[in-house]
Amino acid sequence: MLLLTGNYFLLLLVKLGVSGDNVEIEKHCEMGRKLLESGQLAGALSHYHSAVGSISSCNEMVHIKIQYLYLTYYERAAVFLAMGKSKSALSDLTRAIRLKPDDLIARLQMGNIFLKMGNTQKARENFQAVLQRSPDQDEARHQLMRANELEELQEKAHATHHRRDYRTTINVLDWVLVLSPWDPESLELRAECYIHLGNTRKAIQDLTPTAWLRNDNRAAFLKLSTLHYSLGENKKSIAHVRECLKLNQDDKKCLSHFKQVKKLIKQLDSAEEHIKEESYQMAISNYESVMKTEPNVPYYTNKAKERICFCLVKRDPRNINILRDRAEAFILNRDYGEARTLLIATLLRKHVLTLTVIQYVVVSPDEW
């Protein structure tokens, strides 16, 4: 932990001869420490911001103000790290090192952060700087070895990805991300592999943090929006594309996708409202529009066909062909419970199964 103890801080201030007018600074720092220890990070950060502001306006001599700032930046970096704001922590540690260049602990912490971010070059530079001043620093030596190991794994991951060996790439990136969990490039690469293998959920899981690990990451927000859209999760889709537009309201790709999702949501909601009102013909018309609006994503085509069949059944409950087609739509959407119910209803009226259904039962008996 970066944090210095409150007693040490107070002792230092006494030695420096800090005037009573500046006790406010120590109060802010002390409250910052207490709030950090209790997990109240926003409050802790607020007190450290106030401390920095008070230092800038105090009337102490320059060397005392430097000592104040060094300690405050040093401790505020710990709060930023606890909040997961690694870039802000790096910024404060950089300021602390400028004020006290011989601070090896701050350099070691910087190296550790760069390592977790996947920046092996910057990590090595900091670990080597520590070892130049303190050759017996065991942690720096150990972390330097990990930085070299990480670089080798990163190179292997890119090589296997280039060969389109996505499963091996994922296995290698699993180890990479143990060493560098804040590395957006590795997370994006693993997400791409999951997409190639058809595992959309895993891809979303990896891409979600990258939206915040990079500045102005509109590409990640748009990708997340399209992935949720492909799964039929329109509320999540539109939430992510809105984040993209917050960064740039004129982004053409984000704006185009936003309009597409919004139009589709309106058609789907309208169709379901008509079904509630038992206006089945109007609902059918809406779902036909859904298929025209989005003909390329199977989820919406299958959803529309299933709901159209539902409306037709409501209008003609004894139509066996409609029951069968609706059951097949449920199967395509992997809703096996509903499909089973409809097939039983079909069998009660006609003792036959379609070839598609027979094949599915044979291939996936565990689902029934």
- Token pair, residue 45, equals 């950060």
Q: How confident is the model at residue 331 (pLDDT cuts 50, 70, 90)?
A: confident
pTM comes to 0.75
Residue 208 has pLDDT above 90, yes or no: yes
Tell me the chain's radius of gyration from C-alpha atoms.
30
Which residues have C-beta within 8 Å of that of residue 253, sequence separation ≥ 6?
222
Residue 356 has pLDDT above 70, yes or no: no
Residue 349 has pLDDT above 80, yes or no: no
DSSP string, 140-166: HHHHHHHHHHHHHHHHHHHHHHHTT-H
Task: Return the H-helix or E-strand segment holding 176.
Answer: helix 166-179
Q: What is the pLDDT of residues 175-189, one digit of tens each?
A: 999 999 999 999 999
Q: What is the pLDDT of residues 1-47, one digit of tens each?
A: 444 444 444 444 444 444 444 677 778 777 888 888 888 888 888 88
More confident residue, 233 or 312: 233
Q: What pLDDT, on a 0 to 100 scale, did the predictor assign at position 157?
A: 97
Q: What pLDDT, on a 0 to 100 scale, did the predictor assign at position 219?
A: 93
Task: Return the H-helix or E-strand segment holding 333.
Answer: none
Q: Return the minimum-mean-pLDDT range out of 80-84, 174-178, 266-270, 291-295.
A: 80-84
DSSP state of 5: P
**Would you tell me the crossing angle of helices 62-82 and 6-16 to the nearest 10 degrees?**
170
For residue 20, the Cα-to-chain-centroid distance in whole angstroms is: 47
Which of 209-218, 255-264, 313-322 has the highest average model confidence (pLDDT)?
255-264
Residue 214 has pLDDT above 90, yes or no: no
